[in-house]
């Protein structure tokens, strides 16, 4: 059994003094270090969350600007197609006009040649008729 005597009180006093000294020298500094680490970890977690939020914002901004660039590229492509179609119509119109001009010049030239040939034939007909009449009369 446990006998309570004076040594018990000395041991109890030594124990309490040891606990008090250990608390001052060991437990408080360890608790302080744990609190500091916990604060640093919380700060790092907040910073990581902030970085994650910033990365997400940047990604969203990038995707939005990419969508805008695609839309602008589509508009530019459609605008280019429209301009190309206009240019094509303009060139086709010019080519048709040139073809009409060439055809008209050719018609005028052919008509002039036909008139000239007809005039030559009429002139030759008269000479041929005279020649034929002379041969018939001589003959």
pLDDT tens, 33-60? 999 999 999 999 899 888 899 999 999 9
In angstroms, the Cα distances linking 70 to 62, 73, 74, 84, 88 are 12, 5, 6, 21, 26
In angstroms, the Cα distances linking 95 to 81, 87, 91 are 21, 12, 6
**How many helices and strands in the chain, by DSSP H and E?**
2, 0
Tell whether pTM > 0.75. no
Q: Residue 119 above 70 pLDDT?
A: yes
Burial (CB count <10 Å: 0-12, 13-18, 19+), residue 26 = exposed
Q: Nearest-CA neighbor of 93 among 82, 81, 101, 105?
A: 101
What integer pLDDT is reported at residue 120 of this predicted model? 86
In angstroms, the Cα distances linking 135 to 83, 122, 124, 127, 138 are 76, 20, 16, 12, 5
pLDDT tens column, 10-26 = 999 999 999 999 999 99
């Amino acid at each position: 059994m446990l006998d309570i005597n004076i040594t018990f009180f000395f041991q109890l006093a030594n124990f309490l003094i040891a606990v008090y000294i250990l608390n001052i020298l060991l437990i408080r500094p360890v608790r302080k270090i744990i609190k500091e680490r916990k604060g640093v970890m919380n700060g790092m977690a907040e910073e990581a969350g902030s970085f994650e939020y910033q990365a997400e914002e940047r990604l969203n901004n990038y995707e939005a600007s990419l969508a805008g660039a695609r839309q602008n590229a589509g508009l530019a492509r459609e605008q280019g197609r429209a301009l190309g179609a206009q240019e094509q119509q303009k060139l086709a119109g010019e080519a048709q006009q040139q073809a009409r001009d060439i055809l008209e010049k050719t018609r005028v030239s052919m008509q002039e040649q036909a008139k000239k040939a007809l005039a030559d034939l009429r002139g030759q007909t008269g000479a041929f008729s005279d020649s034929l009449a002379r041969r018939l009369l001589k003959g």
